[in-house]
């Protein structure tokens, strides 16, 4: 869901901030980790064992939701580092919505800045270039960072797909919520589908080995992209329109077509994408997992939480107001964005407990946690 207006920040400014960050000690801003108050011993032995064994991939999880232009320039505190390590998450798809006429330069600056934070914490993070990095992160007890962009405005042509892939980008949404040269977004009044230029970008992404994502695309664009693509694509973070009529959610037809080509859909915990009324609980998140599993099979559903370790409601009030103001009224924000039990660093354990209560077996839970996205990424990132 998150969006970021980087403004007119330039690549050299980001690179300078990154260099300054790398010179700072890793414990520059020590704070107590929010997860420390929730001991792992509070979860069942079975849930802990499942997470310990599984490759857990959150296919939309920014490292830090912070709307400041230089959010990457502050090193993680000791408490935050501890929260990442105990979260149980193997890989996080770090992706922001960046759009507009300056998107190319903005994404370059964005990548330079966040790469600085990742490099500064090389003892914690692994920048992903291929699936072997996912396995390596799991073995080493680190967090793999999949770098993506929740838009494709920065692709001025097919050559730019190769450029950004070479720099480490491994996933791109075709659109954010609004129309671009490629296709239409989910909150556009009219969805014209994928343009000729968009079809060329999809072909370029597939030939390069970059995952095509249609999470924020409009309904016709979503179907077009699935049809145009030769191989599987992804809906990294959305939910089921059959359970809730919201413009950001996907129809059963789209989910069936996605699965027919081997794609995977990540389920999100953003409150207004889960239910239309209160109370909203983690059980309602599992309802969406259930729906996809029953519709197309357990092999086509995963997790895309669409939040960092702490959630949106932990943001400073002024930033939260700024975030909400950036979206159309059709997004339907309520008082809270997060869901209790899915708004803290140990949320994966809470989700596993909910899946256990729902009757899922260990092997199927492991597929939902990351096995399905691991299979898809292995096919795409050749």
Instruction: Please give the pLDDT value at position 330.
Output: 87
Instruction: Please give the pLDDT value at position 7.
Output: 39
CB 123 within 8 A of CB 176: no
CB 101 within 8 A of CB 220: no
Look at the block and give the residue holding tokens 């490759």.
Answer: 55
Helix axes 103-120, 11-22, angle to 10 degrees: 10
If 0-12 CB within 10 Å is exposed, 13-18 middle and 19+ buried, where does residue 313 land?
middle
If 0-12 CB within 10 Å is exposed, 13-18 middle and 19+ buried, where does residue 110 land?
buried
Query: Quick one: which of 200, 142, 222, 212 has its CA closest to 170?
Result: 212
Residues 6+ apart with CB under 8 A from 200: 158
Instruction: Please give the pLDDT value at position 2.
Output: 63
Q: How far apart are CA 382 and CA 375, in angstroms?
A: 12
pTM of the model: 0.92
For 326, list phi and psi in degrees, rounded to 5: -80, -5
Query: CA separation (Å) from 57 to 34, 37, 304, 364, 377?
Result: 21, 24, 8, 14, 11
Q: How many residues does the chain have?
A: 382
Instruction: Please give the pLDDT value at position 24.
Output: 44
For 349, list phi and psi in degrees, rounded to 5: -65, -40
Q: How far apart are CA 89 and CA 57, in angstroms?
A: 6
Map the chain to HEC letters: CCECCCCCCCHHHHHHHHHHHHCCCCCCCCCCCHHHHCCHHHCCHHHHHHHHHCCCEECCCCCCCCCCCCHHHCCCCHHHHHHHHHCCCCEEEEEEECCCCCHHHHHHHHHHHHHHHHHHCCCCEEECCCHHHHHHHHHHCCEEEEEEECCCCCCCCHHHHHHHHHHCEEEEECCCCCCCCCCCECCCCCCCCCCHHHHHHHHHHHHHCCEEECCCECHHHHHHHHHHCCCCCEEEEECECCCCCCCCCECHHHHHHHHHCCCEEEECCCHHHCCCCCCCCHHHHHHHHHHHHHHHCHHHEEECCCCCCCCHHHCCHHHHHHHHHCCCHHHCCCCCCCCCCCCCCCHHHHHHHHHHHCCCCHHHHHHHHHHHHHHHHHHHCC
CB 35 within 8 A of CB 43: no
Instruction: Please give the pLDDT value at position 382.
Output: 82
CB 124 within 8 A of CB 29: no
If 0-12 CB within 10 Å is exposed, 13-18 middle and 19+ buried, where does residue 174 land?
buried
Instruction: Please give the pLDDT value at position 363.
Output: 98
Instruction: Please give the pLDDT value at position 157.
Output: 96
Instruction: Please give the pLDDT value at position 315.
Output: 95
Look at the block and give the residue holding tokens 């694509």.
Answer: 233
pLDDT (tens digit, 0 to 9) for every residue of the chain, 382 residues total? 665 543 333 334 444 444 444 344 433 333 334 444 457 999 999 999 999 999 999 999 999 999 988 899 999 999 999 999 999 999 999 999 988 889 999 999 999 999 999 999 999 999 999 999 999 999 999 999 999 999 999 999 999 999 999 999 999 999 999 999 999 999 989 999 999 999 999 999 999 999 999 999 999 999 999 999 999 999 999 999 999 999 999 999 999 999 999 999 999 999 999 999 999 999 999 999 999 999 999 999 999 999 999 999 999 999 999 999 988 898 999 999 999 999 999 999 999 999 999 999 999 999 999 999 999 999 999 8
Q: How far apart are CA 249 and CA 291, in angstroms?
A: 13
Query: What six digits make up the tokens of 58?
Result: 């959150």
CB 188 within 8 A of CB 330: no
Residues 6+ apart with CB under 8 A from 11: 105, 108, 109, 112
Q: How far apart are CA 353 and CA 361, in angstroms?
A: 11
Q: How far apart are CA 169 and CA 159, in angstroms?
A: 14
């Amino acid at each position: 869901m998150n969006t970021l207006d980087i403004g007119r920040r330039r690549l050299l400014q980001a690179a300078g901030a990154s260099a300054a960050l790398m010179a700072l000690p890793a414990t520059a801003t020590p704070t107590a980790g929010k997860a420390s108050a929730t001991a792992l011993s509070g979860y069942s032995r079975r849930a802990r064992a499942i997470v310990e064994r599984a490759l857990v991939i959150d296919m939309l999880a920014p490292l830090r939701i912070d709307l400041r232009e230089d959010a990457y320039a502050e090193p993680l505190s000791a408490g935050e580092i501890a929260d990442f390590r105990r979260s149980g998450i193997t890989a996080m798809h770090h992706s922001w919505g960046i759009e507009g006429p300056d998107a190319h330069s903005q994404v370059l600056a964005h990548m330079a800045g966040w790469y600085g934070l990742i490099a500064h914490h090389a003892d914690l993070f692994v920048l992903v270039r291929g699936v072997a990095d996912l396995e390596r992160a799991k073995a080493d007890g680190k967090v793999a960072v999949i770098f993506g962009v929740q838009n494709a405005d920065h692709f001025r042509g097919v050559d730019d797909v190769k450029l950004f892939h070479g720099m480490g980008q491994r996933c791109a949404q075709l659109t954010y919520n609004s129309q671009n040269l490629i296709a239409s977004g989910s909150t556009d009044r009219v969805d014209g589908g994928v343009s000729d230029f968009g079809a060329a970008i999809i072909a370029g992404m597939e030939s390069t080995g970059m995952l095509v994502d249609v999470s924020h695309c409009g309904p016709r664009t979503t179907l077009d992209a699935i049809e145009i693509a030769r191989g599987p694509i992804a809906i990294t973070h959305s939910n089921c329109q059959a359970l809730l009529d919201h413009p950001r959610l996907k129809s059963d037809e789209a989910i069936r077509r996605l699965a027919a080509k081997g794609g995977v859909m990540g389920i999100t915990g953003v409150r207004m994408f889960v239910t239309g009324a209160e109370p909203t609980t983690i059980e309602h998140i599992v309802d969406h997992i259930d729906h996809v599993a029953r519709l197309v099979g357990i092999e086509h559903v995963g997790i895309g939480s669409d939040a960092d370790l702490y959630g949106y409601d932990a943001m400073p009030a002024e930033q939260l107001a700024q975030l909400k103001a950036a979206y159309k009224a059709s997004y339907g924000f309520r008082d809270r964005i997060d869901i209790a039990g899915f708004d803290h660093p140990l949320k994966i354990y809470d989700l596993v407990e909910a899946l256990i209560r729902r009757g899922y077996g260990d092997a199927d839970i492991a597929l939902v946690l990351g096995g399905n996205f691991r299979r898809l990424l292995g096919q795409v990132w050749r």
